[in-house]
Amino acid sequence: MDDAQRNALLAGQQAGSRYALVMPRRVPLGLVGAQVGRQAGSSLDFKDHREYQPGDDLRRIDWSAYARSDRLTIKLYREEVSPHVDILIDGSASMALPGSRKAEGVIGVAAAIAAAASNSHYTHNTWIARDGCHPVMHGSDPPALWQGVDFTYKDTLHSSLVQLPPRWRSHSIRVVISDLLYMGDPLATLQLLSNNAAVIAVVQVLASSDTEPPQRGSIRLVDSETGQLQEVFVDASTQKRYRAALARHQENWSRAATQVGAVMTTLVAENVLDQWDLSPLVEAEVFQPA
Amino acid sequence: MPLALLALASLPALAAIYWLRNRYRRHTVSSLMLWQDTLQSKEGGTRINRLQTPLLFLIELAVLAILAFAATGPRFLSATTHLPLKVVLDDSYSMRATVGGAAAAAGDVSAKLTARDRAIKAIDAELRGGTYAVQFVLAGREPRVLGEPVRDVAEAMRQLDGWRCGSSESDLERAIAVASELGGARSRVLVITDRKPDTEPKAGLVEWRAFGVPTANVAFVGATRSRQPDRQRCLFEIANLSATATKAELVIEKVADGAAESSGAGVIERKTVELDANATRNVFIDLKPDAPAVRARLTGDALPVDNDVLLLRPIDRPVRVHVNIADQALAAQVNRALDAVDNVTRSETSAELLLTDGSSIRATDPRLWAVRFTVEPDAVPYLGPFVIDYNHPLTDGLALRGAIWGAGKTQDLPGRPLVTAGNVTLISDVEQAEGRHDLRIRFTPGSSTVQDTPNWPVLMWNLVQWRASHTPGPRDANVKLGDDAAIALDPRTESVTVTRPDGAVEKMPAGAERLLIPADQPGVWRVVTNKGDYAYAVNTMHRNESDLRDLASGDWGSWAESDKFRWEYRNIAWVLALIAVTLLVTHMALISRSTGKGVTNL
């Protein structure tokens, strides 16, 4: 990380400290945070009894009940779910789009989420999606200690997930930070993310130049990841067509996110970095003021 | 107009604008994915897009060019009648020069074209480009009209066959004056030459077009053949008319008298003449007294006509003289003076010149001229003042101041007085109807000192030469191009036919005692009369005309500048403006249509 990214990391951490991570209403599994989970677990809180079934932990047999009824009964306790957030940062080259502050925005938002998770007493781990998903050095620590976040990968987030999935913690809250600007079925990607996840939040971070096409004129487009060139004459019609394509793409992702129970929101890096306005995350019920 | 042409600078400016506008800016994007729709649309509309951008550009370019052209005030010839056009043709022989040099030696056809050839093409183009009644005026030593005005181009081009470019000089100023006089105030004058004008034609009446190409040249600039008692001598002056030294191959050969071409067998001398830059060398050769004509040739170059000289034998024209003077003292003086004249032969029976102091003269022979001396006993010496008619060939060189002329007081002489002492006529000339001259001379040697002065042999020499000049035949065997060949005719001549070197035959009027034929073509000329056949050679020996270094090409002057011709032109700026407006409307329509269709690349 360069100095600008490091500064964004710290600023994001500071901004995120004003928020707490919110467990979405659609959390399907277990307890989040200090609440009990839906399944029987190893907490001290008693939930119920049931007959012993082969394979049950013998340590959980209620011998007193056996004495009273001569039936092996298993004492069920409520499961205590340890809330955890896995933050996956898209490490593709497009995330550090030249001429934009996109990389700073991505790092800042990731730091803010980590900071908000800490405010909610959630543990967190941070992953970077490159040639496979790798943990960020000191990614479980406060963001200020993170090391090794870079954006050099020349392929898509989906291929990285396929190549080497993160070792997610089971039932963790998974937050994916990416620009999502690649061809492919969003649902396929999200299904990889949703496997054994408590909840998924998709945070799309774009540069302002991603949201707004270039001004009128002849443009030689350069793909930041592949280096592929394409010449196009930009005018109002072209700009309109570009915006429509972006909206359609976002709609596809949003629809896919809905299908897997994920929430999705979009941030513009430059806007975030100017005032650290994270209200879109609040509106998406990912954050709430601490 | 030149300022208006500055508007053409807008053309590259427009091209620059298009170039800058169409120049691709580099723009890095996260992914080309979002541009796929645009790119696919572009590919689908490639035909339209690629056509329309240059089309609009071309339209704009055309509009700017048309407007710039319109700003120059273009006009076109609107006259429906045939406009009078006088074409002044440089008739000097430098117009026959080719480009020469290595290009011609290599077989380049264009390099072998003469200035005349190039000019004829230009004239043809000019005549076909307009509606003219054209008349040609040859500018040689004297202006000469080539024919009547013609409207048909083919007929006009046929008239140009008479443009031979054989003159030793071209008096263009006089020819232009003649052309202007012929054409009047509304006539255009087109000057065709190979040199640039001394001053550029003004007022738009004259267009000057030159078709010359500066070229080095080696030429004969002089040649003479003289007769001496025991031989004949030829002198050839060869000039290197260039700034570099050169060598020329000189061949001198015999030519049978009367033959236009040499047989090739009689080479007298062949030598290489080395010539420094701008140098002239003289080459002499001696010939036997009876040697025939000789031809000298130089190596071929850009102007062949001055590489060839033909020298005929000098004309030997003796005068048969009979002296029949009774006064011994006078006879002695006359005979002594006549003996000093080389072309005098004595003949009593067939004399052409009779000098006598008697009164009986055979007047039947028109060839016999008589000089009658009157010796008067009462002569008195005249000291002057002597009045001399120097317009007469007999008085050429006479200077009687200080001499004493003895003559009577009272006798008057008939005819034209040639020399008088006060009001007393001393010599008179009576020209008879048949062309014969009778001279009367009042001269008493005893009272005179004239016979002791140079005036006496001068008078006798003049007398003989004057008579000799009336001997039928050419005055000179070798004539310089541009001079007049003087042919003395027998008084009884009834027909004269002149054959030019190119074979053209011309009937000349008989009856005159002397015929002056302009020597406007090099070569052997022949004059045939019922009293004799004669020949003389004409050679091009004009340094100025052979000097091709000052030749030039270009156009000077324009008829369009003349107010006199303005009415013949119609300004078409408004037409161009209309076209420009139409193109602009088309331009806007294309833009609006394309925008409506959502075509991106306009």
Predicted complex ipTM exceeds 0.90: no
What is the predicted pLDDT for the residue at B3?
66
What is the predicted pLDDT for the residue at B6?
75
A219: nearest CB among B25, B31, B41: B25
Which token pair is A23? 């467990």
* Confidence check: pLDDT of B371 > 80: yes
Region at B270 (left for phi over 0; alpha for psi -120 to 50; beta for the rest): beta
Q: How does residue B493 score in pLDDT terms, banded at 50, 70 and 90?
A: confident
Interchain contact, B32 vs A220, CB within 8 Å: no
A230: nearest CB among B32, B37, B41: B32
Q: Which residues pair with A200 in a beta bridge?
A: A174
Interchain contact, A233 vs B41, CB within 8 Å: no
* Confidence check: pLDDT of A43 > 80: no
Q: How does residue A31 score in pLDDT terms, banded at 50, 70 and 90?
A: very low
Q: How does residue A37 score in pLDDT terms, banded at 50, 70 and 90?
A: very low
How far away is chain B from the Cα of A184, in angstroms, using its nearest Cα?
A: 10
How far away is chain A from the Cα of B11, in angstroms, using its nearest Cα?
A: 22
B387 burial class (0-12, 13-18, 19+ CB within 10 angstroms)?
Answer: middle
Distance (Å, whole) CA B33 – CA B181: 85
Amino acid identity of A187?
A: L
Position with higher pLDDT, B537 vs B595: B537
What is the predicted pLDDT for the residue at B81?
67
Position with higher pLDDT, B162 vs A39: B162
Position with higher pLDDT, A106 vs B202: A106
Distance (Å, whole) CA B6 – CA B166: 46
Would you list which residues of chain B are within 8 Å, Cβ to Cβ, of chain A?
21-39, 41-42, 49, 598, 600-601
Interchain contact, A218 vs B33, CB within 8 Å: no
What is the predicted pLDDT for the residue at B589?
86
Question: Which of chain B's residues have a Cβ under 8 Å away from the Cβ of A249?
Answer: 33-34
In degrees, rounded to 5, the angle at the alpha carbon of residue A138 between the alpha carbons of residues A137 and A141 is 155
- Whether B136 and B87 have beta carbons less than 8 Å apart is answered as yes
In degrees, rounded to 5, the angle at the alpha carbon of residue B72 between the alpha carbons of residues B67 and B78 is 105
Question: Which of chain A's residues have a Cβ under 8 Å away from the Cβ of B36?
Answer: 245
In degrees, rounded to 5, the angle at the alpha carbon of residue B252 between the alpha carbons of residues B246 and B257 is 150
Residue B17 CB partners (closer than 8 Å, separation 6+): none
Q: Are residues A129 and A56 in the same domain?
A: no
Interchain contact, A218 vs B21, CB within 8 Å: yes
What is the predicted pLDDT for the residue at A33?
38
What is the predicted pLDDT for the residue at B419?
87
* Confidence check: pLDDT of A75 > 90: no
What is the predicted pLDDT for the residue at B435?
74
Position with higher pLDDT, B572 vs A34: B572
Q: How does residue A228 score in pLDDT terms, banded at 50, 70 and 90?
A: confident
Q: Which residues of B114-135 are buried (b: 16+ CB within 10 A; e: fewer)?
A: bbbebbbeebeebbeebebbbb
Question: Which of chain B's residues have a Cβ under 8 Å away from the Cβ of A244?
Answer: 37
Q: Quick one: angle between helices B46-71 and B36-44, nearest 10?
A: 70
Question: Which of chain A's residues have a Cβ under 8 Å away from the Cβ of B39?
Answer: 230, 232
Distance (Å, whole) CA A217 – CA B27: 11
Mean pLDDT of chain B: 83
Distance (Å, whole) CA B175 – CA B197: 14
Question: Which of chain A's residues have a Cβ under 8 Å away from the Cβ of B26?
Answer: 219-220, 222
Domain interval for residue A242: 3-30+83-289
Q: Are residues A53 and A182 in the same domain?
A: no
User: What are the Cα distances from residue B514, in Å, to B379, B475, B484, B509, B566?
Assistant: 38, 10, 12, 11, 51
What is the predicted pLDDT for the residue at B596?
52
Helical (H) or strand (E) element with B588:
helix B573-596
* Confidence check: pLDDT of A24 > 70: no
What is the predicted pLDDT for the residue at B46?
41
* Confidence check: pLDDT of B209 > 90: yes
- Boundary residue ending a domain (A80, A111, A146): A80
Domain harbouring A212, CATH code: 3.40.50
What is the predicted pLDDT for the residue at B45?
42
Q: Are residues A115 and A194 in the same domain?
A: yes
Interchain contact, A221 vs B31, CB within 8 Å: no
User: In the predicted model, what is the mean pLDDT of residues B577-597?
Assistant: 80
Q: Are residues A154 and A217 in the same domain?
A: yes
B600: nearest CB among A179, A225, A237: A237
How far away is chain A from the Cα of B555, in angstroms, using its nearest Cα?
A: 49
What is the predicted pLDDT for the residue at A26?
47
Q: What is the per-residue pLDDT across B59-116, written as a single tens digit (0 to 9) for each? A: 888 888 888 888 877 776 665 667 888 999 999 989 988 876 666 666 667 777 889 9
Q: Are residues A109 and A221 in the same domain?
A: yes
A219: nearest CB among B21, B24, B33: B24
Interchain contact, B39 vs A228, CB within 8 Å: no
Looking at residue B314, what DSSP letter applies?
Answer: P
B30: nearest CB among A181, A235, A237: A181
How far away is chain B from the Cα of A47, in angstroms, using its nearest Cα?
A: 52
Domains belonging to chain B, first-starting first, are: 2-25+32-74+572-596 (no CATH), 77-215+548-570 (3.40.50.410), 220-311 (2.60.40.10), 319-469 (3.40.50.880), 474-539 (2.60.40)
Question: Which of chain A's residues have a Cβ under 8 Å away from the Cβ of B21?
Answer: 217-218
User: What are the Cα distances from residue B342, in Å, to B229, B231, B292, B319, B339?
Assistant: 10, 15, 22, 10, 7
Question: Which of chain B's residues have a Cβ under 8 Å away from the Cβ of A231?
Answer: 24
B210 burial class (0-12, 13-18, 19+ CB within 10 angstroms)?
Answer: buried
Position with higher pLDDT, B594 vs B542: B542
CA-nearest of A93, A122, A119 to A33 is A122
Q: How does residue B541 score in pLDDT terms, banded at 50, 70 and 90?
A: confident
Helices (H), B216-285: none
* Confidence check: pLDDT of B312 > 80: yes
End-to-end CA distance of chain A: 29
Question: Which of chain B's residues have a Cβ under 8 Å away from the Cβ of A253?
Answer: none
What is the predicted pLDDT for the residue at B258?
54
Interchain contact, A223 vs B598, CB within 8 Å: no
Say whether residue A233 is in contact with chain B using an 8 A CB cutoff: yes
* Confidence check: pLDDT of B568 > 70: no
User: In the predicted model, what is the mean pLDDT of residues A52-77?
Assistant: 73
Using H for helix, E for strand and C for coil, what is the string for A106-144? HHHHHHHHHHHHHHCCCEEEEEEEECEEEECECCCCCHH
* Confidence check: pLDDT of A111 > 70: yes
Q: What is the per-residue pLDDT across B452-472, written as a single tens digit (0 to 9) for each? A: 899 999 999 999 988 888 888
Q: How does residue A32 score in pLDDT terms, banded at 50, 70 and 90?
A: very low
From the centroid of its chain, how far is CA A207?
A: 18
Q: Are residues A56 and A98 in the same domain?
A: no
Percentage above 70 pLDDT, chain B? 88
Distance (Å, whole) CA A50 – CA A60: 11
Question: Which of chain B's residues have a Cβ under 8 Å away from the Cβ of A242?
Answer: 34-35, 37-38
Distance (Å, whole) CA B72 – CA A238: 43
- Three-class DSSP category at B517: strand
Q: What is the per-residue pLDDT across B17-66, written as a single tens digit (0 to 9) for each? A: 877 766 778 888 888 888 877 765 555 444 334 444 677 888 888 888 88
Tally of domains in chain A: 2
Is pTM beyond 0.95 here?
A: no
How far away is chain A from the Cα of B66, in angstroms, using its nearest Cα?
A: 29
User: In chain B, helix, strand, coil percent, each to 5?
Assistant: 30, 30, 35
Q: What is the per-residue pLDDT across B147-198, written as a single tens digit (0 to 9) for each? A: 888 888 899 899 998 888 888 888 999 999 998 888 887 788 999 999 999 8
Q: Are residues A76 and A94 in the same domain?
A: no
User: In the predicted model, what is the mean pLDDT of residues B328-344?
Assistant: 89
Q: Are residues A171 and A251 in the same domain?
A: yes
User: In the predicted model, what is the mean pLDDT of residues B300-323?
Assistant: 87
Say whether residue A232 is in contact with chain B using an 8 A CB cutoff: yes
User: Residue B331: how many CB atoms within 10 A of its CB?
Assistant: 18
Interchain contact, A225 vs B31, CB within 8 Å: yes
Q: Are residues A71 and A183 in the same domain?
A: no
* Out of B10-14, B124-128, B260-264, least confident range: B260-264
- Whether B370 and B345 have beta carbons less than 8 Å apart is answered as no
CA-nearest of B150, B145, B87 to B116 is B87
Distance (Å, whole) CA A179 – CA A287: 20
Q: Are residues A263 and A173 in the same domain?
A: yes
Provide the chain A residues 79-138 that lie in CB contact (below 8 A) with chain B.
94, 97-99, 102
Q: Are residues A10 and A60 in the same domain?
A: no
Question: Which of chain A's residues have a Cβ under 8 Å away from the Cβ of B41?
Answer: 241
User: In the predicted model, what is the mean pLDDT of residues A2-8?
Assistant: 87
Q: Are residues A205 and A238 in the same domain?
A: yes
CA-nearest of B476, B482, B518 to B500 is B518
Q: How does residue B265 score in pLDDT terms, banded at 50, 70 and 90?
A: low
How far away is chain B from the Cα of A217, in angstroms, using its nearest Cα?
A: 7
Position with higher pLDDT, A54 vs B129: B129
How far away is chain A from the Cα of B17, in angstroms, using its nearest Cα?
A: 12
Among B22, B25, B26, B32, pick the best mutation site for testing chain A contact (most A Cβ within 10 A): B32
What is the predicted pLDDT for the residue at B50?
42
